[in-house]
Structure formats: C-alpha cells, structure tokens
Chains A and B, each alone.
Chain A
C-alpha cells in the first residue's frame, strides 16, 4: 500500500532517526518508518502553516539517550502533543522520535490505536515508560493528563495538578527532565463546556464543546519553549512529599516558560487572544 502523501523532508528525517529498525522498517515495539512518514507528513502542514509553530531552546533536548520532555497540556484535543512530536522530528538536530504516553482508553479504538502504536505512541503505563527509557528512548509526558486537556478557556495557561508518576520514572531510570511550555493550545480549541452524555458515548473522560460547538482547532499561532534539562537524584521510591517537591520544581519551571513564551509571542499572560 502507498500512502497518498509522503513528504520528502519528513521521509529524510525519519531515515535519520537513530532507532534500530529491521529490514521491513519496524522496530521491536512495532514502530514503522512508513507510518512515521505518513503521520508526520499529516502533521507538518499543521505545524508549519496552520499553527505556524515557533520554537525556542529545542536543542535543550539531548541528541541521544533517555530523557523525559515534560510540558503543560491543554486544548481539549492533544494538539500540543502532536506539535511537540513534530517539532522534535522536524526541528531537532538530529531528529528524535518522542514516545507519547497515551490515555489507556485510546488502545481499544480501531485504526487510531494501530496508527498510534506504529508511530510509537503507546499506552501510558509505568512498565512501558521504564522500558522505553532504559532503551535510551525519548518520552513526552504531560503530567496534567486529561485534567490538562480538559481545562476550560477561562482557566487558560493556569497549570492544574501535576501527576507525580513521571518524577518516579525519571529517578528510577536516571533520566533528565526537559521542561517545555506550549503556548496556543487553549486558544486553538477554546473549550467552554464539557458534554457529559457524549463523553459517555465515546468512553472518554470529557467531550469538549467550543463556542462553535465542535472541538476543531482554530488557526492560532503557537509557540514551543524548552528549558535546560533538569537532573534529579534518587531512586523513585521516595515519599510523596519528597517527590512532590521535585515535581513542584518542574511545574514551576514550566510556569516560567509559559510566561516567557506569552511575552515572546507578544501577549501578556491571561490576556485574550
């Protein structure tokens, strides 16, 4: 089967990935070069044109080896995840495939679950995360999870509670944490209301409703800002208070990056788009 659209820039980038693929183009987790080309060829026009994403500090992400990129989550649909993956594939030198940790409910969806698997977007389970990190892969984690994407427009750019699992993973696997801020997600999909019945129907935690009803992203300029890697010492078995203190350092850095990013984009924090 030939994909309708394979972007040559994306294809060249995928070829440069430092991941062991077999002769059929699959790695040991089922990630497929062909599907990566398809996936990122789809995302590239959104990244370059629709959201006109600009980046700062992307080389803070290590060129190789294990690391966690940790950022704020927003926007009703995980546009931010798609854009940070695309940035790391297209803008980072050398290109890196970030493995997203996907909500478990997605694994039962036909087609989507298969495409996600082939593109290295796996179920968010500690077992998977540790395995990938120990295999020197890059993980993208949004510790706000569905609480983050479920943020309403009125709460934009305010971080909600961070999960602490990522910090235990970082400590256990001795991986650096690279914080980033994504600016624009909550403006692209301004969620004003959650439809409970529809959510039940789709088996999702919420169903976002926008002023124009459907959760389709608007063309808003987006900005991605990475901070320097943070290193934490420990084993991952520390008490909740100790872990929470480390998590607060990361969320604090992300808050500052959000402020810097909003200023850099020419907007005061909290000002309407």
Chain B
C-alpha cells in the first residue's frame, strides 16, 4: 500500500513508518519538524499539513491510505496553535482524502479524551461520551478533533475511517505524555488517591495502528495492551518516587521542587483513573499486545 503519514517525525509515527516499510509498504511522510536520520525509502516532506504542498501530495501521489498523526498536546503547543493544528488540520486531511479519492484514513487519537472523574465507570467503552473537556480544559481541542474525525464515518462513507483512541505509550523513545510525566525524579501524586494508569509499549501501539490499516476496520476503537496498574506501582517500577501531595498544595508544587509541570486540570488524572475497554478493537483486528505491563515498566525503568 502507498501510505501518507502526517506528523511523521513524532516518536510513535516514526515507528509506524519504519514498520510499514519493513512490511513492504510505500511510506510518504509530512511534518513541520525534521526527521534527520529517516531510513532510506521514506519520502519526507517538510510542510505544515494545512499548507498547499500537502494537498498537492494527496492529489498526485495516488495514495491508498492516510494515517493522521499530526495532532499536538499541551506539551508542545499553545492553546490557539493546538486548535489550529488539531481541528483545522484534521479537517483538511479528511477533506482532501474525500476530494482526491483516498479510500482509507486512520486518525490516531488518545484515550485521555474520556476524562478522569470520580463517577466514571471502571472501564470506558467507545459508547461513553468523552468528558475531558469539562475536567481538563487543555484536552478540549483533542476531544473535538477525535469526534470530528469520527464524523467522517457518515460524512464520507466511501472512506474507510478508523478512529483509534490509544492509551499512553512507553518505550525506548522515552517520549509521550506519560513519559514526560514520569520524566522528573519525583512524580507528583495527590494524597489519598492512587488511580489506575493504562499504558502499552510503543512497539505494540505501532503494530496496532498497522493492523488497523491492513485489516481496514471502519469505526471508533479504544486501543490498549496490558491491564492497568496503580500510579504508585508505575512510579516504583519505573524507578521514580511518587510523592503524595496534599491536594490544596498540588498546583503550587508541580513545576517546582523537582516535580514535572502539569497543565491546569491535570490533577484529575492523578486522582482518578482513565481505563478503556479495548475488546472491540481486539475482536475486529485480532490484536494482541506482545508486552505485558511489567515488561513495559521494566523496559522503561530509569537506572
């Protein structure tokens, strides 16, 4: 297959690209950021997805599929910038796919859009409404992008659209939301709370995305690997120290005293769990993660 990957310089996108090439697919990538040591055979274009060169690529390259991974989080972009990239970018990708006859599109999103709340069920299915906008304002743009991407299922029924809500990933790239949270030696917790965290190895996440591509599964899917573990276990097993903070002091301590900084609302994510049910994805694709939770944590351990 001939596949365009948007946001190809991201850690997970690079893995997807390398594995696709290895499996005999042709990969074209777009990103504003460079990928200096990209493997041979991957055609990289330095461009913003909302710009003309990307439309030209989609028009001329006779693509079989687009994997849309060019979404940004609070870790790398301001709020306005995120809205432009996540919302407008997602829109143009699907519009171009429709206009120029690309038959398949995969949106790679995040499981955090479900939001952390005390009254949420143990496991969230795809039928659950995403609540992150209310609990974590900095995720509102990603919630909107996810739902907007899913609207392609009825707006452009000729495109096989998969919306993947992938749990946190950990792996040798040491990048990603959870990796940054665990980046500082002291991990901030909230005293009296120890929520479950759900994550998977980044190799497994890349394989899951490729499986969605090759099996052509339309729909919205949670993508997860092993069972979740409490934050305290995650911190201990990755060689970090969980420091339970009194809740009123939490926001003034993060970003200082050796704690990683967190955006407003992130507190909910260290109090309450976000755990997703991935049964639908496993059933549709036969996906089975190769790394269990202990293997993922041990491989990620700081020495």
Contacts and interface: CB of A to CB of B under 8 A. Distances in A.
A161 interface: no
A26 B190 CA distance: 21
Contacts of B190: 110
A112 B191 CA distance: 11
B118 A128 contact: no
Contact of A111 (B123, B192, B196, B233): B192
Contact of A113 (B121, B193, B233, B237): B193
Contact of A26 (B119, B121, B191, B227): B227
Contacts of A125: 119, 121
A108 B191 CA distance: 12
B194 interface: yes
Given A30-B230, A110-B247, A114-B193, A22 B293 contact: yes
Interface in B189-208: 190-194, 196
B264 interface: no
Given A22-B293, A110-B247, A29 B122 contact: yes
Contacts of B193: 110, 113-114
Contacts of B118: 104, 107-108, 113, 123
Interface size bracket, B side:
20 to 34
Nearest to B237: A24
Contact of A122 (B122, B229, B292): B122
B192 A28 contact: no
Interface string B212-233: 0000000000000001111001
Contacts of B123: 127, 131
Nearest to A107: B118
Interface residues of A, number: 25
Contact of B227 (A27, A112, A123, A131): A27
A23 interface: yes
A110 B192 contact: yes
A23 B294 contact: yes
Chain A residues touching B, majority SS:
mixed
A107 B121 CA distance: 11
B89 to A, nearest CB: 33
Contacts of A127: 121-123
Contacts of B294: 22-24
Interface string B275-302: 0010000000000000011100000000
A22 B227 contact: yes
B171 interface: no
Nearest to B128: A127
B119 A104 contact: yes
Contacts of A32: 230
B109 interface: no
A28 B228 contact: yes
A110 B273 CA distance: 14
Contacts of B229: 22, 24, 26, 30
Contacts of A30: 196, 228-230, 273
Interface in B131-161: none
B61 to A, nearest CB: 43
B128 to A, nearest CB: 8
A124 B273 CA distance: 16
B287 to A, nearest CB: 17
A127 B272 CA distance: 17
A107 B119 contact: yes
**In this complex, which of A22, A27, A104 has the most chain B Cβ atoms within 10 angstroms of its Cβ?**
A22
Contacts of B292: 22
A113 B122 CA distance: 13
25 contacts: A22-B292, A22-B293, A24-B233, A24-B294, A26-B233, A28-B227, A29-B122, A30-B228, A30-B229, A30-B273, A32-B230, A104-B118, A107-B118, A109-B192, A110-B190, A110-B191, A110-B247, A112-B192, A113-B118, A113-B192, A113-B193, A114-B193, A114-B194, A118-B230, A128-B121
Given A22-B293, A28-B227, A104-B118, 7 more contacts: A22-B227, A22-B229, A24-B294, A110-B191, A114-B192, A123-B118, A123-B119
- 4 nearest A-B pairs in the assembled complex, by CB-CB distance: A110-B192, A127-B121, A107-B118, A28-B227
